[in-house]
Amino acid sequence: MYNGFVRIAAAIPELRVADCAFNASKMAELIRQAEIEKVQVICFPELSITGYTCADLFFQQQLLVDAKKALQELQLLTFTTTSVLIVGMPIRVQNQLFNAAVVLQGGHVLGVVPKTHLPNNNEFYEKRWFASAGSIEISEIMLSDEKVPFGTDLIFTDNKFSFAIELCEDLWVPIPPSSQHTLHGADIIFNLSATNELIGKHNYLCQLIEQQSARCNAGYVYASAGFGESTTDVVYAGNGLIAENGKIIATSQRFSFEPQLVVSEIDIDRLRADRIRNTNFTNGKSDTAYRIIPIEDAHFNHFVLKRSFDKLPFVPSVSNRDASCEEIFSIQVGGLAKRWLHTSAQTLVVGISGGLDSTLALLVCVKTADKLGFDRKRIIGITMPGFGTTDRTYHNALNLMQSLGITLKEISIKDACIQHFKDIGHDPAIHDVTYENTQARERTQILMDIANKHNGLVIGTGDLSELALGWATYNGDHISMYGVNSGVPKTLVRFLVDWASHQLDKNSETILQDVLDTPVSPELLPADENGEISQKTEDLVGPYELHDFYLYYFVRFGFSPKKILMLAKNAFTGEYSDEVIEKWLKVFLRRFFAQQFKRSCMPDGPKVGSINLSPRGDWRMPSDTAGFDPLTPLKEEKE
């Protein structure tokens, strides 16, 4: 295992029905390929040694003898390989025949898992040949001159990860065996299958695997019979599917005439992070005492991940863009509508800077007013130009408010700030934190007082990324009466504003697109000699796409800085150097821990996604915790 990842494979070999020697030789080819690719566990399809479609040939003594010989050949191969093999074959136990999965490593059979649920429908008649695992009365059998564990109560582990097995139909029943396997500690489920193809069945299968892996917070590896099986009545497509906690991450090419090895990695840390947070996870755990079967660590302690990671984990896919954006806006609008009606406020008061966050907040206010049937004039938008306000943001703020038909107010903060500098004895030529925060607090005072004057509710504009970094003036833009963006990270803010721009009239769309093109800035320092923004947030605290990536994996899964660093290098290959990624990760960690005191008294606001930093719900942390030392080298280490 490497950085919490275990590399696994679903193998679809070339096959001839009832030709066990041929089948074993073709399986061996894939096993050698998997060894080169540092695969720790390889799963083959159901009855892969004989073929699934042997029918009444399963009653032939010769086929059973040939299957055992083929198994012994594979055992010999495992003396020179380190991977764990899971192969399918018929196993005769006393006077019954079982459809079973056999686990091999290091020349030995580690255990045998029989199939529990046998189909008996128009397409499959397994009960004609095989007995169910429910009928077994013994826990060990002799196989290849060894006494080996036999049963469905086996969990295989190297103490870094654990896996268990179910076979084909076991997945399709109301309570699959894998449900109990995972409750008893299995991180990954391997399913040896032989699923035939029908119109629409593949999509259903994918949904089934995704749902089961999600319910079990598990990895799920599905290896199904392919080309070479008999096509007398049905066709097999060779489905190799790998899922992780509700999402398929790797697939085979269906209906391929060539053997396939579908390789990917399962993130054990991620699975266990979800399980430890789900206090109901072990509810329903049976009293069955599972047997723990040790496997050897393959010692593949370093490999380049085959799977990739989305650099924008908060942003929905383009294919789901409209539905996702509608849903996010609906959550924000629903939260604000309830608060507006509950407070009986006459107006909403929002500061409009011409930047992304205030733009999104304004759009939410407008949608809320429309949904409640209120006049948009009940929304009071206030632009408050200061020492750093540029013509670009100033005009975008004015034009947007006019375009959306709300009440517009303009109140300059310059004179008030100059008076305040005089009151506290501060030289306005010194552009320090006092200079900046005076402006932020003056703006908040104006908003609050206007709200008092007009029976209003001050709507906060700060987003989730700013809360994570503490990029807000305490008792300035940090404070509002309801923060509609508090659950929306900066990368998602940008996505939402872009989507919303295409839902409005052409004039509003043009304004919103220019807002999107404007550098993110609090505009608290004077503009440069060309009148352009001089204070660019991402130059000071780092790129928001990096910080949102760090935030997602740090809060959602509790990953270590070392692992987050490795994932970020994977996601941002070619965009940022390793040194830059590490630099901003240190900044993220330092700021995240130092700025908890601002989150401890943040206003109410709606949760939008899986991550939120509200101290009343999702994130409870002492404001004076020591945290991780960001100066400690975050180098990747070999385990």
Q: Does domain 5-294 have CATH number 3.60.110.10?
A: yes
Locate CATH 3.60.110.10 in the chain: 5-294
Number of residues written out for the chain: 639
Q: Is 210 a catalytic residue?
A: no
Q: Where in the chain is the domain with CATH 3.40.50.620?
A: 318-538
Res 114 pLDDT > 70: yes
> Is 43 among the residues known to form the active site?
no
Residue 588 vs residues 242, 367, 476, 536: alpha-carbon distances, Å = 33, 34, 22, 17
Mean pLDDT across 321-334: 95
Cα 39 from Cα 43, distance rounded (Å) = 10
In the set 14, 35, 46, 582, the catalytic residue is: 46
Asked if residue 163 lies in contact with residue 186, where contact means CB atoms within 8 angstroms, the answer is yes
First to last CA, the chain: 8
DSSP β-bridge partners for residue 109: 104
DSSP assignment of 580-617 equals HHHHHHHHHHHHHHHTHHHHTTPPP----SS----TTT
Out of 1-5, 475-479, 502-506, give the one with best mean pLDDT.
475-479
Q: Is 506 designated active site? A: no
Model pLDDT for residues 444-474, shown as the tens digit of each residue: 999 999 999 999 999 999 999 999 999 999 9
Least confident segment among 201-205, 302-306, 358-362, 458-462:
302-306
Sheet harboring 291-294: ordered strands across?
Answer: 247-251, 240-244, 219-224, 188-193, 162-167, 154-157, 291-294
- Domain 318-538, CATH among 3.30.1360.120, 3.40.50.300, 3.40.50.620, 3.30.429.10: 3.40.50.620
Computed over every residue of the chain, the mean pLDDT equals 93
Burial code (b: 16+ CB inside 10 Å, e: under 16) for 215-238 equals ebbbbbbbbbbbbbbbeeeeebbb
Is the per-residue pLDDT at 637 higher than 50? no
Catalytic pick among 38, 115, 490, 563: 115
Taking CA atoms, 476 is separated from 19, 160, 264, 456, in Å, by 77, 48, 48, 18
Pairing relationship of beta strands 456-460 and 140-143 according to DSSP bridges: unpaired
Average pLDDT over residues 209-215: 97
Q: 122 falls in which pLDDT band (50, 70, 90)?
A: low
For the purposes of burial, counting CB atoms within 10 Å of the CB of 199, is it exposed (0-12), middle (13-18) or buried (19 or more)?
A: exposed
CA distance 594 to 437: 18
Handedness of CA 430, 431, 432, 433 (dihedral sign): positive
- What average pLDDT does the segment 547-555 reach? 97
- pLDDT mean over 599-622: 94
Q: What are the structure tokens assigned to 16, written together?
A: 């001839």
Give me the mean pLDDT over the 525-536 stretch: 79
- Say which of 43, 168, 216, 365 is annotated catalytic: 168
Q: Report pLDDT for 523.
A: 74
* pLDDT tens sequence across 56-69: 999 999 999 999 99
Beta-bridge mates of residue 351? 382
> What is the rounded distance in angstroms from the CA atom of residue 476 to the CA atom of residue 462?
11
Residue 510's H or E segment, with its range, is helix 506-517
